[in-house]
């Protein structure tokens, strides 16, 4: 076949292609498109830059930007900075937190509550995840997991309100207890750390359940069967095999739930009382006004985020050490 | 031994199901109570609370406002989240880990801190609190969820498919538009539904970035602070039915398309 022939054949192909796929054919034969494409794909490097430029710009300005701006405002002496006035940077906003112990109480309460609630969520959801992953047939697993997903699509405020109705003085729990004759006067569940805990565990349970479930599901059944053949009891099997091999799921679930728990604002406001004020409410307090308190609020938010990250970092290190220790 | 274990675990599972369902069921029941007073027992039933909602223009407007915010913010998140997934999945480049870390950052920042960081940044950019600010904050917050879902799907696309398209003469863009993108569609749709639910349900960002108009969760929060009433139950029930129905539909849809593409 001569050169000319092959060129004609090629041309025929393109024409045929255009005829069967008018849109794509027309697009790929369109001159400006071809020029643009030749320019964009001239080198792998240029192709990568075109792919990466916009997302990277987005990450820096939209994901990182708010964090950096918050850190900057937390160091300002006053905000908003008056026109023409110099920006004075200061550490006073941070010193204010360490200098005044009325801020410490909600701060440590938030971290303690978050840790306790995370632990409760773990204890509550581990058996559920274990049951789903190890004792339910493949087909039913999806269905039974789906049942659990439904309530978690419902918003934070609606679920918080549902807990308020459950636990109120004329709520379902008190009614049931009275009907059973266990109590005469309603127990004041609401506006305590109990109601807050129940609400927060309710909101975060799924974020624990899913990592645990996927860790347990990956664990081959044969591992525990072999251990059983070798004479290990149920508890030993769990402690020596299942638990160490699902520590990754535990670690990521706990990290997620801890971070989420420290950030709740509406739930503590609605379910908690004066004795359970959390740091989120303290921070929010600085933002109810026009702006003169913003630097303090920003500093407090930075302190809380740093503390939460420090604790989760420490926790993950500990989990890693545990895993290494157990598999040795 | 194993059998009794199994029974105990099954009981724990069903107890957990009760824990997550009972509060919502009680809340729904309370919306039909024929009395202004919230509390059990319920002696007579009514639909009045629903009538009053559907004749209240302000509440209906709030529903529409929240939905509009959910749709617009989802459009932004989906485009950027998918783009990020294409950049991150199956590619190794200098700074990959940092890029990935930045991508998931908005999902890991605790709610209140994320809300005030957005509030400060919006003011710096000169965005007034209101609809635009809420859409922007929701869009940024939801990007990681889209990226993670799309990345998971993209990792299962056999490389041979795009390579075959390229061998047959498709340029990179056509190969992307005709092979990769259609393959990603189920995950993109699933992620959009999830984003819409996140946006529709979000309280803390809408609260701190909202202007005078309230989104639905902010409205319910404000009503709750001034006292409980069965009207709130009715509003919450409608929101619940809406979100749960959309969620179930999306779950079934993604499951079905996943199964089809496996065949």
Is the CB of residue A38 less than 8 Å from the CB of residue A51? Answer: no
Put simply, the answer to whether A263 touches B83 (Cβ < 8 Å) is: no
Q: What are the pLDDT digits (tens) for B58-114?
A: 889 999 999 999 999 999 999 999 999 999 988 888 889 999 999 999 999 999 999
Cβ atoms A47, B87 nearer than 8 A = no
pLDDT exceeds cutoff 80 at A82: no
Mean pLDDT of chain B: 87
| DSSP per-residue letters across chain B | -HHHHHHHHHHHHHHHHHHHHHHHHHHHHHTTBSSSS--SPP-SB-SHHHHHHHT-HHHHHHHHHHHHHHHHHHHHHHHHHHHHHHHHTT---TTHHHHHHHHHHHHHS-HHHHHHHHHHHHHHHTPPTTHHHHHHHHHHHHHHHHHHHHHHHHTTS-HHHHHHHHHTT--HHHHIIIIIHHHHHHHHHHHHHHHHHHHHH--HHHHHH--SS--HHHHHHHHHHT---HHHHHHHHHHHHHHHHHHHHHHHHHHHHHHHHH-
Give the number of A-B residue pairs with CB atoms closer than 8 Å: 242
Give the pLDDT of residue A301.
Answer: 94
Return phi, psi of residue A189, to 5°: -75, -35
pLDDT of residue A31: 83
Residue B263 pLDDT grade (very low, low, confident, very high; cuts 50, 70, 90): very low
Going along chain B from its start, the domains and CATH numbers come out as: 47-262 (1.10.3720.10)
Q: Which chain A residues are within 8 Å of B240, Cβ to Cβ?
A: 154, 158
The whole-number pLDDT of residue B156 equals 87
Q: Distance between CA atoms of A189 and B151, rounded to whole angstroms?
A: 44
Please tell me the predicted confidence (pLDDT) of residue A165: 87
Taking CA atoms, what residue in B is nearest to A295?
Answer: B120
Mean pLDDT of chain A, nearest integer = 84
Q: What is the pLDDT of residue A9?
A: 55
- Residues from chain B that touch A55, judged by Cβ atoms under 8 A, are 80, 83-84, 87
Q: If contacts are CB pairs under 8 Å, which of residues 162-221 in chain A contact chain B? A: 162-166, 168-172, 175, 202, 205
| Chain A interface includes B109 (CB < 8 A) | yes
Q: Which domains does chain A have, with CATH numbers?
A: 3-91 (no CATH), 93-327 (1.10.3720.10)
Tell me if A63 and B86 make a contact (CB, 8 A cut-off): no
Distance CA A22, CA B115 (A): 49
Q: How far is residue B165's CA from residue B175's CA, in Å, rounded to a whole number?
A: 6
Q: Using omega within 30 degrees of 0 as the cis cutoff, is the peptide bond preceding A280 cis? A: no
Question: Residue A1: its pLDDT value, please?
Answer: 46
Question: How far lies B218's CA from each of B34, B197, B205, B222, in Å?
Answer: 26, 15, 10, 6
d(CA A186, CA A166): 13
Band the pLDDT of A20: cuts 50, 70, 90. Answer: low
- CA dist B247 and B255 (Å) reads 12
Measured between beta carbons, the chain A residues lying within 8 angstroms of B113 are 70, 263, 283, 301, 304-305
Instruction: Decide if B16 and A27 are in contact by the 8 Å CB cutoff.
Output: no
pLDDT of residue A326: 60
pLDDT above 70 covers a percentage of chain B that reads: 96
Q: Give the closest of B13, B111, B207 to A131, CB-based.
A: B13
Range among A306-310, B56-60, B246-250 rated most confident = A306-310
Chain B, residues 81-100, CB within 8 A of chain A, namely 83-84, 86-87, 93, 99
Q: Inter-chain contact B40–A59, Cβ cutoff 8 Å?
A: no
On the question of pLDDT at A64 being above 90, the answer is yes
Q: What is the pLDDT of residue B261?
A: 60
Mean pLDDT value across residues A114-125? 94
């Amino acid at each position: 076949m001569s050169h000319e022939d092959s060129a004609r054949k090629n041309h025929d192909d393109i024409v045929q292609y255009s005829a069967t796929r008018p849109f794509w054919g027309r697009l790929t034969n369109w001159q400006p498109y071809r020029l643009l494409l030749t320019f964009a794909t001239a080198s792998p490097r240029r192709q990568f830059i075109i792919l990466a430029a916009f997302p990277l710009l987005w990450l820096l300005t939209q994901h990182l930007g708010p964090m950096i701006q918050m850190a900057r405002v937390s160091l300002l002496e006053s905000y908003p900075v008056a026109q023409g006035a110099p920006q004075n940077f200061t550490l006073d906003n941070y010193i204010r937190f360490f200098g005044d112990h009325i801020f410490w109480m909600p701060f440590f309460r938030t971290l303690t509550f978050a840790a306790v609630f995370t632990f409760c969520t773990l204890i509550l959801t581990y058996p559920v995840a274990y049951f789903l992953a190890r004792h339910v047939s493949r087909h039913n697993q999806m269905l039974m997991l789906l049942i659990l997903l439904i309530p978690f699509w419902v918003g934070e405020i609606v679920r918080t309100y549902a807990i308020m109705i459950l636990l109120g003085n004329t709520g379902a729990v008190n009614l049931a207890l009275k009907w059973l004759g266990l109590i005469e006067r309603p127990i004041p569940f609401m506006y305590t750390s109990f109601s807050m805990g129940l609400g927060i565990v309710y909101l975060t349970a799924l974020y624990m359940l899913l990592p645990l479930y996927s860790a347990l599901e990956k664990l081959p059944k044969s591992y525990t069967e072999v251990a059983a053949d070798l004479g290990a009891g149920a508890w030993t099997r769990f402690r020596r095999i299942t638990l160490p091999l699902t520590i990754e799921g535990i670690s990521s679930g706990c990290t997620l739930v801890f971070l989420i728990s420290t950030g709740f604002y509406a739930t503590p406001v609605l379910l908690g009382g004066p004795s359970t004020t959390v740091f989120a409410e303290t921070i929010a307090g600085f933002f109810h006004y026009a702006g003169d308190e913003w630097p303090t609020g920003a500093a407090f938010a930075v302190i809380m985020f740093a503390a939460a990250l420090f604790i989760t970092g420490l926790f993950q290190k500990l989990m890693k050490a545990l895993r290494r220790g157990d598999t040795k | 031994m194993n059998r009794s274990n199994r029974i105990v675990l099954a009981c724990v599972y069903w107890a957990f199901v009760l824990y997550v369902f009972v509060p919502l069921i009680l809340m729904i029941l309370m919306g039909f109570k024929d009395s202004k007073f919230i509390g059990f027992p319920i002696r007579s039933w009514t639909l009045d609370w629903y009538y009053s909602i559907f004749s209240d223009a302000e509440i209906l407007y709030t529903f529409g406002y929240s939905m509009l915010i959910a749709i617009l913010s989802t459009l932004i998140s989906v485009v950027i989240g998918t783009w990020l997934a294409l950049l991150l999945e199956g590619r190794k480049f200098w700074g990959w880990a940092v890029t990935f870390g930045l991508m998931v950052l908005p999902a890991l920042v605790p709610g209140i801190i994320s809300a005030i960081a957005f509030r400060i940044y919006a003011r710096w950019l000169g965005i007034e609190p209101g609809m635009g600010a809420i859409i922007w904050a929701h869009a940024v917050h939801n990007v990681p969820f889209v990226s993670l879902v799309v990345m998971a799907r993209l990792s299962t696309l056999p490389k041979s498919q795009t390579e075959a398209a390229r061998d047959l003469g498709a340029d990179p863009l056509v190969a992307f538009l005709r092979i990769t993108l259609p393959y990603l569609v189920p995950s993109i749709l699933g992620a959009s539904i999830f984003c819409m639910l996140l946006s529709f349900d979000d309280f803390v960002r809408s609260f701190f970035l909202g202007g005078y108009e309230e989104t639905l969760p902010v409205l319910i929060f404000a009503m709750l602070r001034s006292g409980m009433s069965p009207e709130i139950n009715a509003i919450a029930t409608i929101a619940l039915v809406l979100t749960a129905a959309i969620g179930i539909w999306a779950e079934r849809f993604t499951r079905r398309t996943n199964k089809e593409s496996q065949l």
